[in-house]
A and B are shown apart, each in its own frame.
Chain A
C-alpha cells in the first residue's frame, strides 16, 4: 500500500498516522491519492481543533485516543463501514462533544459495530443517534456507551436507549434500577436487567424445572432479575423524561445466573447469563457474561452458530 505524506496527512498502509490540518469541518478521507484508508490510527487526530468530523465511508476502524483532546469537537458522523471504535477514541477532554451519529445504512448481514472500552463518552443530556428505520433520538446516554470488555451492537438494532430514567415498566413486574435496554431484531423484544430486585416471576413451571436442573447449587451472594419484556414500541410513552410502557413479562429470574430459552432455526438453545456484581472477588465492577447453551446445557462451541443465536440478544450495560 505504501506511504503518503502531504501538508495535512501522514499515512502508511491504509492507516492515517497523523493529521496536522486546521479545518473546522473535517471530512476524514477514505482515499489519499492511490491509498485506500481503512483505519484512523491511534492518536492521529488528537489535539485537533475541528468542530465537526465526518468519517468517510470505507474506513473500518477508529483507533485508540484518535480524537482525544479535540477541545472544539461537537459533532461526529460515523459511517456504516466502521466496525470497530477502539478505547477512548472519543473520550478524554472533549467538553463540547454532544452529538455522535452512527450511520447503519446500508445494513449488511451480520454487520456488527464493536465499541471497545470507553470508546465514546458524551456529556449528560446529549444524544447518540442512528438512522436505523424508526429510531428516534436517544436521551441521556450517560457517561459511556462502552462495554466491558468489547461487546457488539448487532446490525439489525432497532432501538438503543438508556432506561436509567425508567421508573415504571409494568407495575406488577417491580423491575427497577434498570440499567440498559436493547431492542432485538423484531423491534418488539427488549431485554432489561435490574439489579438487586426482590421479586421473582416464574411463570412457566416446565422451564423452571429445567433451570433448576442446570443451576449450580452453590449459593452466590447477590441476586439479579432478568426479565424479557414484550411490548409494542408505539405504546412507549415519554413523560417528563420518564419512559412508561405496559409490557408482557415473558420470563423473570432472581438467580445470579439465568437461562433464557431461545428457539432458533427450529432448535432449542439457552442464553446463559452470569452476572457479576460490584465487589465480586474476581471483578471490580459489574458485568454480564453470556454463553449459548444447547438443549443439553452444553456450551455451543461453533462460533458462527452461537453468534446466529445470540445476535439479536446482545446487551450493552451502562453501569
Chain B
C-alpha cells in the first residue's frame, strides 16, 4: 500500500463513527499490514494512530489531512499520556 493510500484509509477510519470504532478499525488495519509484511514505518504509523485517536480525529475532520497532521496528533497524544501518567503518580 502506498503512503498516500494509507493516509486516505486512516483519514476515513478516523472520520467514521466513534473513537472506539476508529481504534478497532486501526488495530484491524495494523494486523493486516503486519500480515502483508508492509513497510515498518507504515506499521508504526498505524500503531501510533491507534493510540492517538482522540487527538487525531479533529485533525482528520479538517478539509486537508496529511501525514504531518497525523504526526502532530500522535505527539500531542504522547504528551497527554505522559502528563496523565505523571499526575497519577504519588508524590513523596
Whether A184 sits at the interface, judged by CB under 8 Å, is no
List CB contacts (< 8 Å) of A56-89 with chain B.
63-65, 69
List CB contacts (< 8 Å) of A7-23 with chain B.
10, 12-13, 15, 17-18, 20
A89 → chain B closest CB, angstroms: 12
In Å, the complex CA distance between A41 and B12 comes to 15
Whether A5 sits at the interface, judged by CB under 8 Å, is yes
The stretch of B19-27, B55-63, B71-79, B81-89 in contact with A is B19-27
A47 → chain B closest CB, angstroms: 5
Contacts of A47 in B (CB 8 A): 17-18, 21
CB pair A42 B36 closer than 8 Å? no
Whether B8 sits at the interface, judged by CB under 8 Å, is yes
Whether B44 sits at the interface, judged by CB under 8 Å, is no
Whether A3 sits at the interface, judged by CB under 8 Å, is yes
The 7 closest A-B pairs by CB, nearest first: A43-B24, A41-B28, A46-B21, A20-B16, A42-B28, A47-B17, A18-B25
Residues of A whose CB lies within 8 Å of any CB of B are 3, 5, 10, 12-13, 15, 17-18, 20, 41-44, 46-47, 63-65, 69
Q: Given A18-B16, A20-B17, A46-B17, does the pair A12, B24 have CB atoms closer than 8 Å?
A: no
B25 → chain A closest CB, angstroms: 5
Q: Given A5-B9, A18-B12, A18-B16, does the pair A12, B21 have CB atoms closer than 8 Å?
A: no
* Interface size in chain B (residues, C-beta < 8 A): 20
CB pair B20 A46 closer than 8 Å? yes
Whether B64 sits at the interface, judged by CB under 8 Å, is no
Whether B70 sits at the interface, judged by CB under 8 Å, is no
A-B contact count (CB 8 A): 63
CB pair A43 B28 closer than 8 Å? yes
Can you list 5 A-B contacts with CB-CB less than 8 angstroms, sorted by A residue number?
A3-B1, A5-B8, A10-B9, A18-B13, A42-B28
Q: Given A18-B25, A42-B25, A42-B28, does the pair A3, B18 have CB atoms closer than 8 Å?
A: no
Q: Given A42-B27, A43-B21, A43-B25, does the pair A17, B13 have CB atoms closer than 8 Å?
A: yes
Whether B32 sits at the interface, judged by CB under 8 Å, is yes
CB pair A10 B12 closer than 8 Å? yes
B45 → chain A closest CB, angstroms: 15
List CB contacts (< 8 Å) of B23-40 with chain A.
23-25, 27-29, 32, 35-36
Contacts of A69 in B (CB 8 A): 18, 20
In Å, the complex CA distance between A64 and B31 comes to 13
Q: Given A12-B1, A12-B9, A17-B13, does the pair A46, B28 have CB atoms closer than 8 Å?
A: no
In Å, the complex CA distance between A34 and B64 comes to 29
A62 → chain B closest CB, angstroms: 12
In Å, the complex CA distance between A15 and B17 comes to 18
B16 → chain A closest CB, angstroms: 4
Closest residue of B by beta carbon distance from A15: B32
Contacts of A13 in B (CB 8 A): 32, 35-36
Closest residue of B by beta carbon distance from A46: B21
